[in-house]
Chains A and B, each alone.
Chain A
C-alpha cells in the first residue's frame, strides 16, 4: 500500500519517459543520415568501381584490345564472367566513335529483366586507342578508337 500511495517517484518516471523519447528521437535523427556500405545509395558507385577495375585489369594484360579489335566477343564475356562476382550481372557493348555498335552479338550475363527493373544500374565507359594486328605477315597499326560501355547490376 505504501508503494501505491508513495508519490515521490512520479516525477522520476515522467523524467525517464521524457529521456527515453529524447534518446529515441536522437537515434532516429542519426539513422536518417547514416548509410551503411550495403545501402542502395552506395551500390551503383561500388559497381562502377568494380567495372572500371575489371576493364582496366584486362587492358593492362593487353587482352581487352585484342578481344575488341579481333572481335572475340565470346572471350570478353568469358573474361568478365570470371573476373566479376557471380551475383553481378553485366551487359557490355562496343561502339565506334560515331556511336554505331560494333558487336552484332549481345555480350551479357544474367537475367535481362534485372537490367530493366533494377534501380541501381552502374554504367562504365572505357576508351581504347587501337591495336596492331598481323594481316598476311604484315602488321597494321592504325589509330581507330573504340568505346566500351559496361552496365552492371546486382542480381
Chain B
C-alpha cells in the first residue's frame, strides 16, 4: 500500500482527466443556460399574439367603417366607441398577459356622390404587453375604398374599385354593385359584371344593366369587408 501511495507516475493522467471533466461540466453548464433561455423566451408565440392583436385591431377599423357607411345616420363616434370596448375586452380575451392597447388619430370619413368617391378610416395603435416587457409597439390601420366611374355607354358602366394604396379590388360580383337613377328610388337590374385588365387603370369592371341608362346615375359598391362607396355620374 505504501508503495502504491509513493508511486508518482500517474500524475499527468489525473491532471488530464480532471481537465476533461472540467471541460465537460462547463459544456453542461453552457447547455443548461442555452436550453433554459430558449424555454423561457418563446418569441414565436408572442409574435403571433402581437400579430393576432394587430390583425383584429385592423379588422375592427374595417368593421367600424362598414358600419359607418351602411347606416342611414352615420355616427362619427362609432370607431372611438368600438376601440374603447376593444381596449377593455382585450384584457378579458387574453388574461394574464398584461395587455394594454392605446389608440390615437382615429377617424371615419367618406366623400361620396362624386365621379371618384371614397370611404376611409384610420387609427394609430400603441401596444404594451407587460408579461414580455413589450412597450410602445406602434402600428397603424388605414382602411380605404375608392370607386371611380370612368364612363357610360348605352347600358354599360365602366368603373374601377381600389383599396388601400390604390390596389385594385378583384373578385367583385353582381351582388357587390348597385346601379340606380340619381334622385330616384329606381334601382336598375344588373345583368352581368365582367372585368378586364387595362394598362392605365389596371382592373376595370363593366356593369351591364338590362336597360339603357339615363344620367345622372348612382353606382354603389360594397367590398368583401362590407364597406360601401357611392359614386355619381352625370
Contacts and interface: CB of A to CB of B under 8 A. Distances in A.
Given A33-B32, A45-B39, A45-B42, A129 B86 contact: yes
B42 A26 contact: no
Contacts of A35: 35, 39
Given A11-B7, A97-B89, A143 B82 contact: yes
Interface in A106-155: 125-134, 137-143, 145, 147
Given A23-B21, A35-B39, A59-B56, A30 B27 contact: yes
Contact of B10 (A11, A42, A48): A11
Contacts of A101: none
Interface residues of A, number: 54
B70 A138 contact: yes
**Majority DSSP secondary structure for residues of B touching A:** helix
B93 A147 contact: yes
Contacts of B57: 129
A41 B60 contact: no
A40 to B, nearest CB: 12
Interface stretch (B112-120, B129-137, B200-208, B219-227): B219-227
Interface size grouping (class) on chain B: 35 or more
Contacts of A141: 63-64, 66-67, 70, 226
Contacts of B53: 127
Interface string A7-19: 1101110111011
A15 B7 CA distance: 12
A45 B89 contact: no
Contacts of B153: none
Contacts of B89: 97, 127, 145
Given A11-B9, A30-B25, A127-B93, 19 more contacts: A15-B13, A26-B24, A27-B24, A33-B35, A34-B28, A45-B39, A56-B48, A59-B52, A60-B55, A62-B224, A97-B92, A127-B56, A132-B67, A132-B225, A139-B70, A139-B222, A143-B64, A143-B67, A147-B93
14 contacts: A12-B10, A19-B17, A23-B24, A26-B21, A30-B27, A30-B32, A59-B52, A126-B52, A127-B90, A127-B94, A128-B56, A134-B222, A141-B70, A145-B86
Interface of B: 3-4, 7, 9-10, 13-14, 17-18, 20-21, 24-25, 27-28, 31-32, 35-36, 39, 42, 44-45, 48-49, 51-53, 55-57, 59-60, 62-64, 66-67, 70, 82, 85-86, 89-90, 92-94, 175, 222, 224-226, 228
